[in-house]
Structure 1
Amino acid sequence: MNVLIVGGTGFVGTHLTRCLLQKGHRVQVLSRQGTGLVSGARYIRGNAATGEGLAPAMKDAEAVIYLVAIIRERGDQTFQQAIVEGTRNTLEAARAAGVRRYLHMSALGAARGTGSRYFEAKAEAEERVRDSGLDWTIFRPSLIFGEGDDFFGGVLRGLVQGGSQNGLWYPPLPVIPLIGDGHFPFRPVWVGDVSEAFAQALEKPQTIGQTYELVGPQEYTFRELVLRVRDALGSRKPLLPIPIFLMDLALPLLSRIPGFPLTLDQYRMLKVGNTAEPTAMRQVFDLEWRSLEMELPIILKKSAHLAAG
């Protein structure tokens, strides 16, 4: 099958491109740079947020996968542009080209009225997908872990070790700051399982018109995730819980500091957690369901190498 991935040069997109190629699909990737790392894929310059390059990229496509998203707004890259406008432009281009099959990356927790602009944008994009008239499938993953991820290899590593991680600065402290008691639940999912779910959906007509929550085999509190990263790094730093009411007061000001590692939007999402039951996912997709413990040493070793380089 000829598959067009819109926004396929990031963490998930790179893994998914390799997965699709291994299964014999022909893969084109639309990205703003027009270049990528996966041998065998064809990279095309374009910008979903403006619509640039979408029409010619759709020419030979039989299915479209939309992955474009940002977790942090920077300059002119906003949630509205990357998530909502990019989705709208891609759907319109697919309809104009007669491409029926459409797979969409959303996020677990996407909903109206959450107070998170990220979740609001994801919810609006989902609405556009459902109203598109295409043969759509929506995926809502929890935190995605794997080689090259920004959360375990960046955010949590930064909390434990301090220093610069992915362009953000984490102060090197003798303690590890923790939001409240860290009881917020998460059920992270391996990027290989996310990629496999997308790939299998292309072959499963029963997934058309369905939304699937993608989660891993175990639920953790945020505190447990921090401790697992700390232990994997060989650190013995104690945790320092910071009361929620202090975070609520301080973060609106701290988040305005350039390079501060936590935005107000991310803070709101952390406080509600990110978990779901895996029943529907497990009934449809045949996944390895790899554990966080299996991948964490690889993630941290890779992120240390990138930081050193």
Structure 2
Amino acid sequence: MAASVLVSGASGFVGRAVVEALLARGYRVWAGSRTGKDVGAATGLKLDVTDFGSVLRAYGTAQPEIVVHLVGIIQEEGDQTFERVHLEGTRHMLRAAPPSTRYLHMSALGADPDSASRYSATKGEAEALVRQSGLAWTIFRPSLIFGKGDDFFGRVLKELVSAAPIVPQIGDGSFLFRPVSVQDVAQAFAQAPSLPDTVEQSYDLTGPQEFTFRQLLELELSALGKHKPIIPVPLPLMNLAVPLMQILPKPPITRDQYAMLKEGNTAPNDAARAAFDLPMLPLEDKLPEIVRGE
């Protein structure tokens, strides 16, 4: 009988791709989300990781042998804080898991308890909980994830290059990024349960090519068919402007996003490519359809 997999955050951008990849490999997949809706052929299950009772009920229904914990937020809203979602949510998922559980954890490239970004700091703190859990864990740290419906290339960067006659560039634009496709991320998660050597290992998930922030702006403009001047904005001015933007109902960039952009987001992918059979899809091939919402 196929192993039962519980996926948290299954209705999200990455979650849908992971569910599809797991189903393709023959697993029985339970799609956990706050709405409880089915995701493709996966049975929907109500799961709020910030509510331990909800987590216990989901585990009781799914009886999972494998848990894929994907829930994360990029921006705080109301009671959905980084601490509650990333840290307490992970603590609840680990606490409810039987000792025999195979546990796969979505972290992020740059996860570090000492990071200036609370997003990255809480991701790092959650990793520590996973390592101390005693479960058979694997941690994945993806870079910027691209694909149809993604938030960064399909919304944040698109709005940045579209909003004004000029395109503001943070500093000298030299910060490095190595975006990875959602298909690569999904394949890593789907293959890990059948690979014993991946237990108690952490993998940086990055794509085949590295870009500066300026190059990403140029690629986004090209994909949109736009021609605009890119104007560097000195960091001291950005340091003043970003906090002021937070008074807007929907700021173009949050403090955390700004902190992460300044840190860059790149790492070698040798370990992940050696462990998993990944397609390594290039950003340039997918970006036009992403920005058009195809």
Q: TM-score, normalised by structure 2?
A: 0.96
Q: The residue matched to 2:214 in structure 1 has which SS? A: helix
Tell me the equivalent position of 2:251. Answer: 260
Tell me the equivalent position of 1:122. Answer: 123
**In structure 2, what is the Cα distance between the partners aligned to 1:289 and 1:123?**
26
1:79 aligns with 2:82: yes
What letter is aligned with 2:4? Answer: N
Tell me the equivalent position of 1:230. Answer: 221
Contact 1:8 1:17 in 2 (8 A): yes
Extract unaligned runs of 5+ from structure 2.
none
1:143 aligns with 2:144: yes
What letter is aligned with 2:247? Answer: R
Count of residue correspondences: 290
**In structure 1, what is the Cα distance between the partners aligned to 2:291 and 2:237?**
30
Alignment of 1:38-53 (within 5 A): 38-53=39-54
**In structure 1, what is the Cα distance between the partners aligned to 2:246 and 2:278?**
38
1:237-274 deviation per Cα after TM superposition (whole angstroms, max 9, x unaligned): 11111111101122122223221111111111100100
Percent identity reads 51
Contact 1:255 1:263 in 2 (8 A): yes
Alignment of 1:63-78 (within 5 A): 63-78=66-81
Q: Which of the residues 264, 280, 292 maps onto 2:271?
A: 280
Tell me the equivalent position of 1:167. Answer: none
Deviates more, 1:83-92 or 1:56-65: 56-65
Q: TM-score, normalised by structure 1?
A: 0.91
1:85: Cα distance to partner? 0.4
1:97-148 deviation per Cα after TM superposition (whole angstroms, max 9, x unaligned): x442000000000012221111110011000000000000000000000111
**In structure 2, what is the Cα distance between the partners aligned to 1:267 and 1:192?**
26
Tell me the equivalent position of 1:168. Answer: none
1:193 aligns with 2:195: no
Cα RMSD, aligned residues only: 1.1
**In structure 2, what is the Cα distance between the partners aligned to 1:236 and 1:253?**
28
Tell me the equivalent position of 1:249. Answer: 240
**In structure 1, what is the Cα distance between the partners aligned to 2:245 and 2:146?**
27
Detail structure 1 runs of 4+ shifted over 6 Å in the superposition: none
Deviates more, 1:111-120 or 1:83-92: 111-120
1:58-94 deviation per Cα after TM superposition (whole angstroms, max 9, x unaligned): 2321100000100000111100011000000000111
Contact 2:100 2:136 in 1 (8 A): no
Tell me the equivalent position of 2:29. Answer: 27
**In structure 2, what is the Cα distance between the partners aligned to 1:157 and 1:77?**
25
**In structure 2, what is the Cα distance between the partners aligned to 1:234 and 1:115?**
35
